């Protein structure tokens, strides 16, 4: 994913999209999310998890508003 593509992501992304961007595997991503230790803000919706894109970009060192 390019920097420009990352900036065009919707306000939240799925846990696996965020995990891939951070280089985290599926099992570890779910373990971290369940424990409240995922490296960026995770929103629990029913049985699923969503990750705040702006927070994800900040963790990656990208200013979501710069561009």
The CATH number linked to 49 is: 1.10.10
Based on the structure, what is the number of domains in the chain? Answer: 1
Judge whether 30 lies within some domain. Answer: yes
Pairing of strands 12-14, 42-45: unpaired
Instruction: Quote the pLDDT of residue 62.
Output: 82
Tell me the CA distances in angstroms from 26 to 4, 15, 62, 67, one per residue in order.
25, 9, 23, 30
Answer whether residue 67 shows pLDDT above 60: no
Residue with tokens 């992304």: 13
End-to-end CA distance of the chain: 16
Specify if 4 maps to a domain.
Answer: no
Enclosing domain of residue 36: 9-60
Residue 65 lies in a domain: no
| Residue 18 buriedness (CB in 10 A; 0-12 / 13-18 / 19+) | buried
- Residue 43: what pLDDT? 95
3 assigned to some structural domain: no
pLDDT at 5: 82
**What is the structure's pLDDT at 66?**
66
Total-model pTM = 0.85
What is the mean predicted confidence (pLDDT) over 44-56? 93
DSSP assigned state of 40 = S
């Amino acid at each position: 994913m390019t920097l420009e593509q990352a900036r065009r992501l919707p306000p939240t992304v799925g846990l696996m999209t965020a995990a891939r961007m951070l280089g985290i595997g599926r099992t570890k991503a779910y373990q971290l999310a369940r424990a409240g230790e995922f490296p960026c803000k995770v929103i629990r919706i029913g049985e699923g998890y969503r990750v705040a894109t702006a927070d994800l970009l900040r963790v990656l060192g990208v200013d979501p508003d710069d561009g």
